[in-house]
Amino acid sequence: MRIARFSHQDAIKYGIVDDTDLVVLAGDPMFAGFDTTGERVPLADAALLAPVIPRSKVVAVGRNYADHAAEFGNDVPAEPMLFLKPNTAVIGPGDAIVRPNALSERVEFEGELAVVIGRIAKNVTAENALDYVFGYTIGNDVTARDLQRSDGQWSRAKGFDTFCPLGPAIETEFDPTVGVLTAKVNGEIKQQAPLSDMVHGVAAIIAHASAAFTLLPGDVILTGTPAGVGPLVAGDVVEVDITGLGILRNAVRDAS
């Protein structure tokens, strides 16, 4: 089942994607279930929004593809390397990534599989970790690479407003061990790798993260990016495509 969050006639709603229509849900399905209102909205008449706005946090994983770690001269961590992005960084499909050009000279894209948590998870095991997943979507872990290096930690570099595009929808039935991630800038392929190349799989990441802090419904986990990351400039269009999840597309502009 594919779930979208969208705007229509000045109202924000949730719907099940049904071919060219959205079957409108009575509320946020993560909390209200999948009861429908009987209303259908043509996809062409709806503006898709970020499919989830984390109420708490975005948990991200660094260096989770060996080729990406190697392109920066880093070793692969023995355990998932976790960091946080603020929920204020989240934007949806079609929204602009805003380069803080007065503060950073190099902003880069990082296409990633995103996991949406559906239940409170604390100290879960890898064996049952996927039971806590509501669904999957696409993410872009936008990064001010020069600030990441100069700051010595990653909060500011990865936390600017607009630095966490998510979308276009949440797929509740998806196998995170299959499929291919492809990222393009202005139509040119920059990243391409099977999801099976992840060093630490989704279940292991959830177990590791939940041992440190409680994961709440609506929290998002970004699972790492493959090799090929690179710079974005104003006017670029970046697309992240994952087999079975659609395409997340965002244009880029400068802050000033």
pLDDT single digits (tens) 199-253: 999 999 999 999 999 999 999 999 999 999 999 999 999 999 999 999 999 999 9
Q: Which residue has the higher pLDDT, 69 or 56?
A: 56
Judge whether residue 169 has pLDDT over 90: yes
Residue 81 CA to residue 63 CA, distance in Å, equals 7
Residue 138 CA to residue 110 CA, distance in Å, equals 11
* Token pair listed for 165: 């595009």
Q: Name, in order, each residue with C-beta under 8 angstroms of 94's C-beta and a sequence gap of 6 or more.
A: 47, 48, 249, 250
Question: Strand ranges (DSSP E) for the chain?
Answer: 2-8, 11-18, 21-25, 36-42, 47-48, 58-62, 81-85, 90-91, 97-99, 107-109, 111-117, 133-140, 143-144, 164-171, 180-185, 188-194, 220-222, 230-232, 237-242, 246-254
For 60-99, what is each residue's pLDDT tens digit? Answer: 999 999 999 889 888 889 999 999 999 999 999 999 999 9
Q: Is 65 left (phi over 0), alpha (psi -120 to 50) or beta?
A: beta
pLDDT band at 191 (very low <50, low <70, confident <90, very high): very high
Task: Provide mean pLDDT across the span 124-130.
Answer: 98
Task: Provide mean pLDDT across the span 98-106.
Answer: 98
Query: In which order are the strands placed within the sheet that holds 143-144?
Result: 143-144, 107-109, 230-232
Q: Superfamily assignment of 2-48 in CATH?
A: FAH (2.30.30.370)
Judge whether residue 42 has pLDDT over 90: yes
DSSP 25: E
pLDDT at 74: 87
Contact, 74 vs 46, CB < 8 A? Answer: no
Instruction: Work out the mean pLDDT of the chain and round it to a whole number.
Output: 97
CATH for 58-254, options being 3.40.50.300, 3.40.50.2000, 3.90.850.10, 3.40.30.10: 3.90.850.10
Residue extents of the structural domains in the chain:
2-48, 58-254
